[in-house]
């Protein structure tokens, strides 16, 4: 028996996958409606146009170079963490220098 973890049931956070799913679900629905309500059963233009437009839409979604908002937020968070680490390093060095100066002055007295 296979155990399904909660991760298996979580929706994907990739917006490209969600857009592709929506494109093909609408295309499939339109194709089914065209097959049912088509005035002539031998008309192949509509299914070909539907399939090619869904494929073109999918290609546009997956080939776009635009970063998703999640990756932009992750990049921004990484940048902030790097800056905080640098500030902590600078503050730590200043504290060490200050401590050494105080110790040096205390040893003179």
Region 48-58 average pLDDT: 92
Q: What is the pLDDT of residue 44?
A: 78
Domain positions in the chain: 1-66, 67-109
Query: Who has greater pLDDT, 84 or 5?
Result: 84
Confidence of residue 28 (pLDDT cuts 50, 70, 90): very high
Give the torsion sign (CA, 51, 30, 10, 12).
positive
Average pLDDT across the chain, whole number? 79
Instruction: Quote the Cα angle for 60-66-70, to 5°.
Output: 120
DSSP 10: S
Distance between CA atoms of 65 and 63, rounded to whole angstroms?
A: 6
Give 60-79 pLDDT, tens digit per residue: 998 886 666 667 788 888 89
85: pLDDT strictly greater than 80? yes
What whole-number percentage of the chain has pLDDT above 90? Answer: 18
Query: Who has greater pLDDT, 91 or 50?
Result: 50
Q: What is the pLDDT of residue 7?
A: 55
Give 30-45 pLDDT, tens digit per residue: 988 888 877 666 677 8
């Amino acid at each position: 028996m296979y155990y399904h973890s909660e991760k298996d049931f979580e929706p994907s956070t990739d917006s490209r996958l969600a857009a592709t799913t929506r494109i093909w679900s609408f295309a499939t629905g339109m194709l089914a409606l065209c097959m049912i309500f088509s005035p002539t059963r031998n008309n192949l233009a509509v299914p070909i146009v539907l399939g090619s437009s869904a494929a073109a839409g999918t290609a546009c979604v997956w080939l776009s170079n635009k970063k998703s908002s999640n990756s932009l937020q992750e990049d921004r968070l990484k940048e902030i963490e790097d800056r905080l680490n640098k500030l902590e390093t600078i503050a730590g060095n200043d504290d060490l220098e200050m401590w050494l100066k105080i110790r040096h002055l205390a040893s003179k007295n």
